[in-house]
Structure 1
Amino acid sequence: MRLAILAQLAAVSFAIPADLNSPSDEQIVAQTIRSINSLYTNSSMLDKCQQCKATLDIGKAISLTRPDLVPEVFIDWCTTHKLDSAANCKTYYSRNTVVASRTGTDFTNLLQLMDPFSLDGDYLCYYKMKKQCSLPELPEIDLSSWWPAKEDIAKVAPAPGNETFNVLHVSDFHIQLDYALGSEANCTTNGMCCTTHTWNANQKPDSVDNSDLKFFDSYYDEDGNFQLGDDVTSDVFNSSVWVPAQEFGAYKCDSPELLINSSLKSIAAYQEENNLDFEFVIFTGDMIDHDELEHTNYNMTIESQELIIRDMKKYFNDTPVYSVLGNHDTFPYGQLASEASGHTNLYDWNEDLLADLWVGNGWIPFEDYQEIKKHYAGFSVETKRGLKVIAINSNTYYQKNYYSYWNMTEDFDQFDGIDQFGTLKFLVDELLESEAQGQRVWVIAHVPPNTQTLPTQAEAYKQIYSRFSPSTIAGLFFGHTHQDQFTMLYANDNKTIEDAIMNTWIIQSVTPWVGFNPGWRYYEVDTETFSIMNSMNFYTKLNETFGNDGAEPVWEFEYSAREAYDPQSTWPADAPLNATFWATVAESIKKSNETAQLYSDFAYRLSPFAPDCSDGECKENYCYVSSFGVNEYEKCAGEGSIDS
């Protein structure tokens, strides 16, 4: 197909006029834009996908000679052909700066590396160019040469003992540094609300009266105690605001630091009140807010990470926290370059920062400092009981990371093809080492394989997890979706209870964005096998903090997974909540509207925005829980993968 497209391209010609020996920048840009536009003017020659790939090919040509001109060309292309709003086109293709999260430099770097007429172009034109190409068929991927055959004994998990210990899981804080009391919490602007640059463009109805609300400049002191601050109502009240942002947050906004400290304090208080000890914490990422990218800058990215880690250290004291980076926890948003690409220097600062903070707080041993930097903020660590925790930076397979679209067509049975970041090899090597020692493993990452993951990597992870579950892998833990969810891994994609191999644990967020009550959970973990025996979930009803004169939120026990999903106690009390247990729940979600509603209520933590399954709002629940990889999920549910 490439030759056919190139032949057609010759007819429209990408060339600088011969009479211009030294064309100006303006002339080069103008001619390049004309060449691209001619692809669309002569639309009978090329279909939409071919136009996209040919555009990328022209972009590649100019990126190799004048990379500084690529942003101007592609901003024009994006706006002229209405691929997105003018603001988004500017964000996606303008050169990177420290004052706004723009990705034009990363896009230019990708153009220099990629082959537009290969699988690189197919996936880029589908996921990043508004589906101008159809989703390509998943190529044949067979990673079986990466490991020895799985012995029969490795196909079953070890039997648990009769004692447990506790592990805390938190995720998706999304601190909103510019959260503004009294600002619009029901904005109509694009993105997140509760800032001075968001508003509701509609006229507020006379029936909406907020004059009786009070606002307080409250805070948590150095000892973690809540202090009701001064009444600042006269300073922040605005009669034109529909829904004023109050102290502890709102459902269309991210977390003010006050809410984050409230959640952490509730965890510390629960431990003290119940004489409970968390041996370690897993934090599955996302510290930066969801504000529009033009309002996201380098300094606030660093400040957000430093504040979240400082606050966790304050409330968790000497308890180790094993963390991963989320898709928001970099700058520009979602980007990460591999060492093989030649551009990793753009992102070294992030691994350096996290290595300093994690090691400096005593969470990760000093000897692992270089490993954190080597594996893009990934690492493996052994807990005091002998469990290995492997942490992965999921931006290495994230659909919005431009660098993930390079070199997608190499041999899939070799590490250097499908694994430009080396993350898969790192994971497999660690799992092989643990398997040889009879050691159990937890894997933690931010983005689940069925959500915003590139299909080739999703398939690779699926094969890896299938090979090492359930004998070596005892748990897979993710965040990102903001919902309390799980997904199933089945043998040979047979969605039956008998074929269940492994399940994931996808944790609820602390941030209420969008429509969720804040929550957290802990696990009761078997001391012998590190299998999860139960999960205990907690939340606060954010709407009950509205109009209550600044009072501190009340955090409540929400549910026990064992009791909620097995109310008749048919599951053996001494059996872990393993893949078979969750496959049974998945079947019930498929067949029972009552279970589907229960699952949806928990996903939203009983917020006012929880869907009503009787109205058909829960159709995708079964697709989600039964699809381990993005390939199966997109086939089952079509569009609708959560963007967090």
Structure 2
Amino acid sequence: MRPALRAVLLLPTLVAAGLVDVVERAVSGVVDCATCHSALPTFKALAAFGDDKFVQTITAACIDLKIEDADVCEGAIRTQGPILAHDLRHFSLFGDTATKFCDAVFGMCALPPATPWMVPFPKERPDVERVWQSRGREPVKVMHFSDVHIDREYTVNAEANCTKPICCRDFGGERPKHVQIPALPLGVRTCDAPGTLADSMLEAAEKMGARFSLFTGDVIDHAVWDVDEENVPRNMLAFTDQFAEKLSTPVFPALGNHESAPTNSFPRDTTEHQITADFVFNAQRQGWSQWIGENATKQIQHHSGSYAVMAPGMDLRIISVNTQYWYKQNFWLYDSDEHQPDPNGILAFLVGQLQAAEDAGQRAWVVAHMPPGRGDVARDQSAYFDQVVQRYKNTIAGQFYGHTHADEFAIGYSNYSERTAENAVSIAMVGPAMTPMSGNPAFKVYDIDPDSYEIMDVRSYYTNISDPDYQLKPTWRLLYSAREDYAPLVPSLPPNASLSPAFWHNLTEVYYRNDTAFQAYIAHKHRGWEFVRRPCVDGCKNGTLCDMRTLRSDVCSQQSGPVFHIPDHGHLSFAPEMSSCEGSGIGGILRKMAARGVVQKVRTNTVTPLPCSCCYSSHLMIPRCFVGTRSRPFSVSSPRNVMDLSDCLR
């Protein structure tokens, strides 16, 4: 029977059996890719009833199963549910889009290889390319901030140990009579950041002196069930005002996936009914024009949030790219079976700007939110972006990202089958987050050669939220200097050489051999977070090193079954694709609903795989298990997404 016909025939069954019960049974049976595909006709039939019925049914199931508090269920599904319903009405059940949908929503499918497509380039690579050399001049300082996630409703003395995905608010305007753990003035680990923490960070950065700053996105807090088209622009502009007030030099920002309502949602320009994200782009233009100028401000509207601008006093073109059209959690990407290699022309804009830089004898930096080599980036667009990097590798002097909340780097290669220092062609810096929810607040400072525009040093500064004096006055201190802490590990680096892609590759070679050096890197990666106590070994180490050595999302993401599995050592492991899970969004809710059914099967020994919705994510690094009536944090067995199986079965 054809899947489409099966969905039609399911309509009377859904009505007769009770929509909520049918949906709960369908979700509880999703344990791998095949069962996800089997459940799609039920969801497609439910979507045929319309957005309202789809939202009401999923919301009722969420509340009935106690996946989240009722207001979280209602808000997340009311805003994001219509997008899933729209998708289900527009893709077929037997194509690649259905598989990609199962991967994005449930995390259950191995993705198909990238669809072959050649990026059109205006010109061939020059036979003789310019050589960029340093003249030994004093480096220029550049700041890098990311993922501040400021909660404008943060309330001092509100409950910091609540049942919701984030706390420290007076939800519904009412405070509990007995507050167990009060929200403190400068933030706590169960909450996003208060505005006062951003003030402290920016004041510390201003004292260091910088030519300009980069901001790689995510202003908005993690209360994704409570965002709308009014508070997102308002909060974006509030943070712009903070930057302008505290910093005396320009800021060149990029959009994050949280800068929209619903969260992650950026409709393609092929979407029906001309749904747009113009309210986001308008807020960008209003807030960012003071730094990027008139021409770049116009580009934002015409290029879906992307723009390019020359750095002050430099032959350096900064290209800010809206990578949300490549993000797997942007559910608008699944509303068509048609292959769309370049949604909203983001790649075309990037190519045009890089070509202009090459023609003008300039270098370029690519600035965006999501590192293109991680598993939450669509394979197609990641592969096509790699073509762009190969073509303009001599023009691109650096790439800068955020999103993972960790202090990291990633290397691009000309040949991923032979990742060597000779084949390393590009380096991406990933900025740490400010929100205390994922570790100690931190930011990066780069020393940049003013002639080659390459990185001479990377320094990371953090404040320890556990310090006794933190709530009185945070102390921002140096966490590490790449020149002082990493360069001595690579003796082949000349004293005045830049930290090139080859240098970073050679550093990864050291990490394979020298575990003490690698564990020190792990401590830096997690911003000195004292909760990461156990060493990163075996699969954790191999996965981390693989992430360092790729700017393509298909290199380290080889998922072929359920998101979670029980390996021989008896712990619950998490696939890389789950690194971006956001527990209060509709995707996270559906994964938790699926986990309920699977946990019951594990308890009765009827199934081995355990897709338990314990999310140890790059956004929310505190692992939580959702098997009980509320989420509970547990100790981390390893920095790479592992926790005790017994924790998830409580």
Pick one of 336, 340, 348 that aligns with 1:425: 348
- Shift in Å, 1:61: 4.5
Number of aligned residue pairs = 556
Residue 119 of structure 1 corresponds to: 96
Is 1:282 aligned to 2:214, yes or no?
A: yes
Counterpart contact for 1:446–1:479, Cα < 8 Å: yes
How far, CA to CA, are the matches of 2:134 and 2:255 in structure 1?
31
Partners of 1:352 and 1:555 in 2: CA distance: 34
Counterpart-to-counterpart distance in 1, 2:425 and 2:131: 10
Indicate which of 337, 341, 346 corresponds to 2:271. Answer: 341
Match of 1:459 in 2: 383
Structure 1 residues 30 and 93: alpha-carbon distance in aligned structure 2, compared to 1, 3 A threshold: farther
Q: TM-score, normalised on structure 2? A: 0.77
Match of 1:521 in 2: 444
Structure 1 pair 173–37 and aligned structure 2 pair: CA distance change class (3 A): closer
Q: Describe the superposition over 1:21-64 as per-residue Cα deviations: whole angstroms up to 9, x where unpaired.
A: xxxxxx97989889989989999xx95243234235435655xx
Give the superposition deviation at 1:110.
Answer: 3.0
Q: Distance in 2 between matches of 1:238 and 1:563?
A: 52
> Structure 1, residues 391-446: CA drift from partner, whole Å, max 9, x if none?
11121111211112244642xxxxxx211211111111222222233321101111
2:51 matches 1:52: no
Q: CA deviation at 1:509?
A: 1.4
CA distance in 2, matches of 1:262, 1:42: 49
Distance (Å, rounded) in 2 between the aligned partners of 1:128 and 1:40 = 11
* Cα deviation 1:487-514 (Å, max 9, x = unaligned): 1212221222222111210011122222
Task: Determine the C-alpha separation between the residues in 2 that align with 1:564 and 1:604.
Answer: 16
Q: Deviations over 1:494-535 (max 9, x none)?
A: 222222111210011122222x21111221112122111112
The equivalent of 1:228 in structure 2 is none
Conserved 8 A contact 1:93-1:107: no
Question: Which residue in the other structure is 1:544 paired with?
Answer: 467
CA distance, structure 2, for counterparts of residue 483 and residue 614 of structure 1: 15
Distance 1:157 1:138, change over 3 A: farther
Opposite residue 444 of structure 1, the aligned amino acid is: V
Q: Shift in Å at residue 611 of structure 1?
A: 4.2
- 1:531 matched to 2:454? The reply is yes
Q: Please state how far the C-alpha of 1:583 moved relative to its aligned partner.
A: 0.6
Distance of 1:72 and 1:237 partners within structure 2: 29
Distance 1:371 1:70 in 2: 37
Unmatched runs of 5 consecutive residues or more in structure 1: 18-26, 95-101, 199-235, 272-277, 411-416
Which entry has the higher C-alpha Rg, 1 or 2? 1
1:135: which partner in 2? 110
Query: Aligned runs of 1:219-234 on 2, under 5 Å?
Result: none
Q: Tell me if the contact between 1:408 and 1:418 (Cα under 8 Å) persists in the aligned partners.
A: no
TM-score scaled to structure 1, two decimals? 0.78
Shift of residue 151, structure 1, vs aligned partner:
4.7
Residue by residue over 1:111-138, the C-alpha shift from the partner in whole angstroms, topping out at 9 and shown as x without a partner, is: 444344322111011211352xx22321
Pick the aligned partner of 2:242 from 294, 307, 311.
311
Instruction: Classify the secondary structure of the residue corresponding to 2:528.
Output: coil
Is residue 395 of structure 1 aligned with residue 324 of structure 2?
yes
Indicate the larger mover: 27-36 or 117-126: 27-36
Structure 1 segment 492-571 matched on structure 2, within 5 A: 492-493=415-416, 494-514=418-438, 516-545=439-468, 550-567=471-488, 570-571=492-493
Q: Is the contact between residue 69 and residue 163 of structure 2 (CA under 8 Å) also seen in structure 1?
A: no
Take 1:122 and 1:464, find their aligned partners in 2: how far apart are those partners?
27
CA deviations on 1:270-306 (whole Å, 9 max, x unpaired) are: 33xxxxxx22211111111113x33434443233212
**Which structure exhibits the higher relative contact order, with contacts defined as CA atoms closer than 8 Å and separated by 6 or more residues?**
2
Q: CA deviation at 1:178?
A: 2.2
User: 171, 178, 187: which is aligned to 2:146?
Assistant: 171
User: Could you tell me how far apart the structure 2 residues matched to 1:309 and 1:573 are?
Assistant: 38
Q: Which residue of 2 aligns with 1:584?
A: 506
Distance 2:342 2:408 in 1: 28
Match of 1:265 among 203, 216, 227: 203
Change over 3 Å in CA distance of 1:396–1:147 after alignment to 2:
same
What is the one-letter code of the residue matched to 1:161? R
Counterparts of 1:607 and 1:34 in 2: how far apart (Å)?
A: 43
Q: Distance in 2 between matches of 1:542 and 1:15?
A: 54
| Aligned pairs (5 A) from 1:297-308 | 297-308=228-239
Residue of structure 1 in register with 2:86 after alignment:
109
How far residue 466 of structure 1 moved from its aligned partner, in angstroms, is 2.4
RMSD: 3.4
CA-CA distance at 1:266 after TM superposition = 0.7
Within the candidate set 325, 329, 336, 2:255 is matched to: 325
Contact 1:167 1:524 in 2 (8 A): yes
2:519 to 589, 597, 607: 597
- Specify whether residues 432 and 50 from structure 1 end up closer, same or farther in structure 2 by C-alpha distance, changes over 3 A only: same
Higher mean C-alpha deviation, range 613-622 or range 340-349: 613-622
